[in-house]
């Protein structure tokens, strides 16, 4: 196998959802823009849709014949990127315990275990190295630095530095900047979530990321914006392994976000600083308490 066709499969699945809404599909370039793939892939999708009797396709006319059934969709797991598969697998090992700091990482073994080529694993490790959890020894193996307390402290130190600066930049943005509308929308979503926190608390992490990314973007600094990838990645997995008091934690965080948003809207730099600091402090606390004890150096 040289390259999986997950791009096609994922786009196909998303394309199926379009069939539920319309009686005929738009032009190929339009579909390409809609699904974010090339026309080549669109044509492969259309070909299969025709084959399975979902549409009648003749040049410009693409008539929907029937609504897609559950078994028309490709299985979820076949739509993942190789790097997503590798990352998940790698993080599972990392968090499963037994992954002590200092331990060496074997490309070949990882590749065999996950069932992929070594090149993909290498490329993943290179990409992953910027998160600061692993390190390469010159023409030799990788070393696991581990998700330790030191890591969490170093991460949050930078995060706090960057976010305080971004928040200040945000508050200083002119009245007519479109970000204020974005902020209003996010505020509404927060209020809604706060009201239904009892049942929807697990939707917070996604909202959290969108909120903080909006703030960081105000810095207009690529290094600050990019650094949020590290935070997002850590929090993504952190949310998965630390379910203790998830509802309570998220409830507190939503309230802090609302206070933070109010401070931003007030444009009062003192208030912004205080609200930001308060939220970051509790975020740091949450992260620190969740570090597995076995991984202390």
Partner DNA sequence: TTATTGTCTTTTATCGTGAAAAAACAGTTT
Partner DNA sequence: AAACTGTTTTTTCACGATAAAAGACAATAA
The answer to whether residues 190 and 169 touch, using CB atoms and an 8 Å cutoff, is: no
Q: How far apart are the first and last CA of the chain?
A: 41
Q: Which of 151, 275, 284, 166 is nearest to 224 (CA)?
A: 166
- State the helix-helix crossing angle for 246-266 and 204-217, rounded to 10 degrees: 30
Residues 149-178 that bind its own copies (CB under 8 A): 151, 154-155, 157-158, 161, 165
Per-residue x/- track, 227-246, its own copies (CB under 8 A): x--x----------------
How many residues at the interface with its own copies, by CB under 8 A? Answer: 27
Binding partner at 83 among its own copies, DNA, none, C-beta below 5 to 8 Å by kind: DNA
Q: Which of 274, 87, 286 is nearest to 171 (CA)?
A: 274
Distance (Å) of CA 215 to CA 141, 180, 234, 293:
38, 11, 18, 33
Q: Which of 8, 46, 52 is nearest to 28 (CA)?
A: 46
Q: What is the closest distance, in whole angstroms, from the C-beta atom of residue 229 to DNA in the complex?
A: 17
Q: What is the closest distance, in whole angstroms, from the C-beta atom of residue 265 to its own copies in the complex?
A: 25
- What are the phi and psi torsion angles at 134 (to 5°)? -135, 165
When the beta carbons of 14 and 271 are compared against DNA, the nearer one is 14
Q: Which run of H or E residues covers position 88?
A: helix 82-95
Q: Does 44 bind its own copies (CB under 8 A)?
A: no
* Contact residues for 249 (Cβ-Cβ < 8 A; gap 6+): 286
Q: Is 244 helix (H, G, I), strand (E, B) or coil?
A: coil
The answer to whether residues 35 and 11 touch, using CB atoms and an 8 Å cutoff, is: yes
Binding partner at 27 among DNA, its own copies, none, C-beta below 5 to 8 Å by kind: DNA
Binding partner at 224 among DNA, its own copies, none, C-beta below 5 to 8 Å by kind: its own copies
Radius of gyration over every alpha carbon of the chain, rounded to an integer in angstroms: 23
Q: What is the closest distance, in whole angstroms, from the C-beta atom of residue 292 to DNA in the complex?
A: 25
Contact set with DNA (CB under 7 A): 1-9, 26-30, 37-41, 43-44, 59-60, 62, 81-83, 105-109, 116-120, 122-123, 137, 139-142
Q: Does 122 bind its own copies (CB under 8 A)?
A: yes
Nearest-angstrom CA–CA distance, 168 and 185: 20
Binding partner at 158 among DNA, its own copies, none, C-beta below 5 to 8 Å by kind: its own copies
Q: What is the closest distance, in whole angstroms, from the C-beta atom of residue 273 to DNA in the complex?
A: 41
Pair of tokens at residue 136: 């390469």
Binding partner at 165 among its own copies, DNA, none, C-beta below 5 to 8 Å by kind: its own copies
Q: Does 130 bind its own copies (CB under 8 A)?
A: yes
Binding partner at 1 among its own copies, DNA, none, C-beta below 5 to 8 Å by kind: DNA
Residues 7-26 that bind its own copies (CB under 8 A): 7
Choose one: 60-68, 184-192, 214-222, 283-291; the region binding its own copies (CB under 8 A): 214-222
């Amino acid at each position: 196998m040289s390259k999986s066709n997950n791009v096609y499969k994922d786009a196909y699945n998303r394309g199926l959802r379009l069939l539920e809404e319309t009686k005929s599909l738009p032009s190929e370039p339009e579909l390409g823009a809609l699904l974010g793939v090339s026309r080549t892939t669109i044509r492969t999708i259309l070909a299969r849709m025709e084959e399975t009797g979902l549409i009648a396709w003749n040049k410009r006319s693409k008539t929907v014949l029937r609504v897609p059934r559950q078994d028309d969709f490709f299985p979820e797991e076949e739509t993942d990127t190789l790097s997503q598969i590798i990352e998940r697998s790698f993080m599972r090992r990392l968090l499963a315990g037994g992954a002590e700091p200092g331990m060496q990482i074997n490309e070949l073994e990882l590749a065999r275990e996950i069932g992929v080529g070594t090149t993909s694993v290498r490329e993943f490790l290179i990409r992953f190295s910027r998160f600061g959890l692993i390190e390469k020894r010159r023409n030799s193996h990788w070393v696991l630095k581990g998700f330790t307390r030191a890591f969490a402290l170093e991460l949050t130190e930078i995060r706090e530095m960057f976010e305080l600066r971004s928040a200040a930049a945000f508050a200083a943005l002119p009245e007519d900047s479109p970000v204020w509308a974005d902020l209003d929308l996010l505020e509404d979503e927060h209020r809604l979530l706060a009201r239904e926190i009892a049942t929807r608390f697990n939707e917070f992490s996604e909202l959290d990321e969108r909120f903080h990314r909006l703030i960081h973007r105000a810095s207009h600094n690529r290094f600050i914006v990019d650094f949020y990838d590290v935070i997002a990645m850590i929090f993504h997995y952190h949310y998965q392994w630390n379910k203790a008091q998830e509802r309570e934690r998220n409830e507190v965080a939503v309230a802090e976000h609302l206070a933070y948003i109010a401070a931003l809207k007030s444009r009062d730099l003192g208030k912004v600083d205080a609200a930001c600091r308060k939220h970051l402090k509790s975020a740091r606390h949450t992260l620190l308490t969740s570090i597995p004890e076995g991984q202390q150096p």
